[in-house]
A = this chain, B = another copy of it.
Amino acid sequence: MVGSVRIVGAGLIGTSIGLALSAKNIPVEMVDIDPASQALAQDLTGGVRIANPDLIIVATPLKALSVVIEEQYALNPNSTFMDVTSVKTEPIAVVEASKLPLRQFIPTHPMAGREVGGAHSARADLFLSRSWIITPTAQSDPAALAMVGELITSLGATAVELEPGAHDAAVAQISHLPQIVASLLASSLHGAPEQWLELAGAGLRDTTRIAHSDANLWKEIIASNADQIKGLLLNLHSDLEKMIASLNDQEKIAAMINRGRDGRALIPGKHGGKAREYTFVPIVIDDKPGQLGAIFNECAAMSVNVEDLTIEHSPGQLNALITVALSDDDAIKLSNHLSAIGWNVHPIRK
């Protein structure tokens, strides 16, 4: 395991890494160009001064990467370096143009974040159960790669290897396009009467949540991945034109909504891999302690594997609706068993 880590950039990601490492008793030094951010991050993480860190994590904006790498490499020519930038082609080009040998640099991107930034928003568990992409180059030193992989695993994340170009295409689709769409949608609210906005529900709130993101962060991400993003925006532009032309045609509208619903279903659930088709068993239970435990004990006794669970319950309501997501076979097995021993099981559904 890595012996000591310097983290340059005391924002959300950098400080969250610092918190997680210091919770594992790994000595951490938090460095930031802003003295207040650095002091807060050092305080939060119990950071110390480290003379020769094994690993230097550059967690600054992309535009600072070049300067930080030159500075840190001059100070610590034997350290391994990694970045956590949201794009990967450009940071690799930055390192290629610097004195830091490419073999000492491991490009990474943790798929975690919050719409709030800064050291004060940091959480040690930010990376738990998240994917963390590594985009090694042909020059990457195997020992450096192993150290970074081990660090990622120790933070509770799963390391995923991708080619730098494939990474940038993937994040354009799953992160940059949603950001631009949310920002444009939120922009459309300017000029709407206050009374209308007071009526907004969860749909508008969720759809625009990430519009709260930081413009200084995003202007860099979007500009540095413009080529990948452009194709996606052109497709959206053309789909929008089709939608405008179909507003009076219910069947075309239904086809578009269904296409969106099917697209949404491609985002995997619990296990990733395939978008798995679960079968759902609805069970009405009395709203009292012990009911959920009793159901899960039956699941364990029947060796059925619960993939997901929702609980619908309202204050003042004396029962609750539990919906358990299972494989098709497990759903039939559990439904029959629970019904036989007297539970109020409703028909399973896909």
Contact = CB atoms under 8 A, between A and B. Distances in A.
A299 B292 contact: yes
12 contacts: A111-B201, A174-B192, A182-B260, A194-B266, A200-B267, A200-B268, A202-B273, A204-B272, A219-B251, A237-B237, A272-B315, A292-B296
A122 B284 CA distance: 12
Contacts of A298: 293
A160 B299 CA distance: 35
A304 B317 contact: no
Nearest to A178: B207
Interface stretch (A77-85, A90-98, A305-313): A305-313
Interface in A30-57: 36, 40, 43-44
A312 B122 contact: yes
A13 interface: no
Given A160-B199, A170-B196, A236 B184 contact: yes
A41 B266 CA distance: 31
Interface in A201-241: 201-216, 218-220, 222-223, 226, 229-230, 232-237, 239-241
Contacts of A273: 194, 198, 200-202, 315
A21 to B, nearest CB: 11
A122 B310 CA distance: 12
A254 B23 contact: no
Contacts of A219: 250-251, 253-254, 257
B125 A190 contact: no
A171 B160 CA distance: 42
A298 to B, nearest CB: 8
Contacts of A270: 311-313, 320
A256 interface: yes
Interface in A265-292: 265-268, 270-275, 282, 284, 287, 289-292
Interface string A152-170: 0000111010100000011
Contact of A260 (B201, B211, B292): B211
Nearest to A282: B120
Given A226-B248, A293-B297, A113 B201 contact: yes
A180 interface: yes
Contacts of A329: none
B237 A241 contact: yes
Nearest to A207: B178
Nearest to A216: B254
A44 B315 contact: no
Contacts of A261: 183, 186, 211-213, 215
